[in-house]
Amino acid sequence: NAMAGKVYELGDAAGTGAAFKMINQLLAGVHIAAACEAITFAAKQGLDLDKVYEVITASAGNSWMFENRVPHVLAGDYTPLS
């Protein structure tokens, strides 16, 4: 409980956990790239970016990365987060 709310048993084979982690990281990277492309497209359209964030985070197009990373982009905060 101190380390995780949910623990998955993935078997005994060496490397299985690492393979799952690579899949997660692949998707995380894709979602970060897509979020940045989307917010750039919105900016090029002249949209209110705070309103874009509000609408998208309440819509099917949302992702954890969009919701978590876009506020930093909008604030001009490019501190590495992962």
How many angstroms separate the CA atoms of 46 and 29, rounded? 26
The confidence score (pLDDT) of residue 81 equals 80
Specify the amino acid at residue 55: V
Give the model's confidence band at 12: pLDDT under 50 very low, under 70 low, under 90 confident, else very high: very high
41 CA to centre of own chain: 17
Annotated catalytic residue 44: no
4 CA to centre of own chain: 19
Specify the amino acid at residue 67: E
Specify the amino acid at residue 28: A
Which domains occur in the chain, in start order?
A: 16-74 (1.10.1040.10)
The confidence score (pLDDT) of residue 3 equals 87
Per-residue pLDDT tens for 37-76?
Answer: 999 999 999 999 999 999 999 999 999 999 999 999 999 9
Q: Which two tokens stand for residue 34?
A: 């897509």
- In the predicted structure, residue 82 carries a pLDDT above the cut 90: no
Query: Residue length, the chain?
Result: 82
Residue tagged active-site, from 6, 21, 44, 51: 21
Over residues 13-33, the mean pLDDT reads 96
What 8-state DSSP symbol labels residue 9? Answer: -
Mean pLDDT (the chain, rounded):
95
The reply to whether the predicted model has a pTM over 0.85 is no
